[in-house]
Amino acid sequence: MKLQSEAISRYKQLLNEVLPATFTAPIRYNHCFNRAVLDWLFQDVWYRHLDPSKTAISQLNEEQLQQMTSRMEQWLQQPGLLFEDNQHSLAWRKKAKSG
């Protein structure tokens, strides 16, 4: 199923404009926000669940995209969630390297 262009546009706007303009810590670059929200979605390192040779967004369904966009909006309202999600993401990645 093709994702609605409006949902994709909002996701990209949050990822590339809103979040980097809002936060300088714990993360500040779009690829880091993407990592954190994708890892949050899967509760694990995202590339264990998607093909890393393809763009993640091209492999997501509408519900997954909506969940991610909602979480990114929550970060704006509750910045502590971004800190928590980033810490979880880093912990999952540390386990992936040692596992």
Q: Cα dist. 97→31, 48, 87, 90, 93 in Å?
A: 19, 12, 15, 11, 6
Q: Residue 99: its pLDDT value, please?
A: 55
The pTM for the full model equals 0.90
* HEC assignment per residue over 34-94: HHHHHHHHHCCCHHHCCCCCCCCHHHCCHHHHHHHHHHHHHHHHCHHHHHHHHHHHHHHHH
98 band by pLDDT with thresholds 50, 70 and 90? low
Given a cut of 50, whether residue 1 has pLDDT beyond it is: no
Tell me the domain boundaries of the chain: 5-98
pLDDT tens digits for 61-85?
989 999 999 999 999 999 999 999 9
